[in-house]
């Protein structure tokens, strides 16, 4: 099925705002367009895009690692495709953070995964936001957690996960496939689109700036990053320049809103700003995405 670019920008995984909280659909759109399925990017490591956050995968004769799980329906499609490469059980399922478009598929994968790994705050937030009596039975949480770092050798790969502090949420971890030099970066970068700012779950813009600066210094120009969301299926992967661009956006956002606050502007007046200077080409993937950034900056600077 061919996907028109304009329709993609309106109806694809960019509409994550409608997916992060069960039962809440910001645009009244319940079905998103299918995207690109599985795609290899380097050394038996690849991505899967359909609905929600990008799934990462690593396959070898003696290993199967999956990063994030989208939703039960879409992760089933992923498993159907990955079975063409391997019939192993999943050795490691890694959750980058708690949002439902990254963890809801845990429910389907629980019968295929030996170990689910996440930063220690991830299951806490998952239970807080999705663990109600109505929805809790559909939640599957990490059985292995870590505070700052986690390492694991599997097959020909060495895995290392990092948590560098509050950023997109209080639980954002990224996973480095060290031998292949590929990093699944979760939602720490929304590539070429306005990011989702989850203040109730600990989103902190200065924290995002700090984490992105640290990450840039940790990796090199050859590192391939997998991002949770982007303006097209092709752009769910990128390089350190994309981290720098995201960091520069957050810095410019804080600088702009701080300047407006000092001139006496109210939040409602600040929300009328058309764009952050230098970032006019960012895509607003769902109604209110731009305002979400401005409100988050206002609240952070005013607190």
Please give the average per-residue pLDDT across 274-280, as a whole number: 96
Q: Would you state the pLDDT for residue 148?
A: 98
Does the structure show a pLDDT above 50 at 19?
Answer: no
Cut 0.75: pTM above it: yes
pLDDT in tens, 159-218: 999 999 999 999 999 999 999 999 999 999 999 999 999 999 999 999 999 999 999 999
If 0-12 CB within 10 Å is exposed, 13-18 middle and 19+ buried, where does residue 198 land? buried
pLDDT in tens, 101-121: 999 999 999 999 999 999 999
* Residue linked to tokens 């979760």: 186
Beta strands per DSSP E along 61-218: 63-67, 92-94, 116-119, 144-146, 149-154, 157-163, 173-177, 182-184, 190-191
Distances from the Cα of 48 to the Cα of 27, 45, 146, angstroms:
24, 10, 26
Q: Would you state the pLDDT for residue 36?
A: 61
Please give the average per-residue pLDDT across 35-56, as a whole number: 92
Does the structure show a pLDDT above 80 at 34?
Answer: no
**Sequence-ordered alpha helix ranges (H) in 158-204:** none
Gap between the Cα atoms of 247 and 189, Å rounded: 9
In the chain, where the domains are located? 5-241
Bridge partners for 226 per DSSP:
184, 237
Across the chain, mean pLDDT equals 90
DSSP 231: S
Which secondary-structure segment (H or E) carries 229? strand 229-230
* Range with the poorest average pLDDT among 20-24, 33-37, 74-78, 294-298: 20-24
Does the structure show a pLDDT above 50 at 50?
Answer: yes
What is the distance in angstroms between the CA of the first residue and the CA of the last residue of the chain?
A: 48
Report the candidate in 81, 85, 75 with the shortest Cα–Cα distance to residue 44: 85
106 in Cβ contact with 69 (< 8 Å): yes
Pick the CATH number of 5-241 from 3.40.50.300, 1.10.10.10, 3.40.109.40, 3.60.15.10: 3.60.15.10
Cβ atoms within 10 Å of 20's Cβ, excluding its own = 21
DSSP conformation letters of 74-118: HHHHHHHHHTTT--SPBSEEE-SS--HHHHTTHHHHTTTBS-EEE
């Amino acid at each position: 099925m061919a996907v028109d670019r304009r329709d993609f920008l309106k109806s694809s995984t960019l509409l994550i705002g409608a997916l992060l909280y069960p039962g809440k659909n910001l645009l009244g759109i319940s079905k998103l367009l299918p995207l690109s399925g599985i795609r290899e990017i380097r050394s038996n490591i690849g991505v899967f895009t359909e609905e929600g956050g990008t799934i990462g995968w690593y396959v070898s004769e003696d290993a199967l690692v999956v990063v994030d799980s989208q939703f039960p329906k879409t992760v089933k499609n992923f498993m159907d495709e990955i079975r063409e490469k391997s019939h192993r059980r999943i050795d490691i399922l890694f959750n980058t953070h708690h949002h439902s478009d990254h963890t809801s598929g845990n429910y389907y994968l629980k019968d295929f995964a030996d170990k689910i790994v996440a930063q220690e705050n991830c299951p806490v937030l998952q239970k807080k936001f999705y663990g109600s009596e109505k929805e809790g039975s559909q939640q599957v949480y990490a059985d292995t957690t870590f505070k700052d770092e986690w390492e694991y050798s599997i097959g020909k790969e060495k895995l290392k996960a990092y948590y560098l502090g509050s950023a997109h949420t209080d639980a954002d971890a990224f996973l480095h496939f060290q031998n292949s030099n590929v990093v699944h970066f979760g939602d720490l970068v929304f590539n070429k689109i306005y990011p989702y700012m989850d203040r109730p779950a600990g989103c902190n813009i200065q924290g995002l700036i700090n984490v992105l600066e640290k990450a840039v210094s940790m990796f090199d120009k050859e590192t391939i990053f997998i991002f949770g969301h982007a303006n097209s299926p092709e752009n769910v992967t990128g390089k350190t320049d994309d981290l720098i661009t995201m960091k520069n956006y957050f810095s410019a956002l804080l600088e702009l809103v701080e300047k407006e606050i000092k001139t006496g502007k109210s939040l409602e007046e600040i929300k009328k700003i058309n764009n952050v200077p230098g970032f006019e080409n960012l895509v607003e993937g769902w109604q209110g995405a731009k305002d979400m950034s401005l409100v988050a900056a206002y609240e952070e600077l005013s607190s």
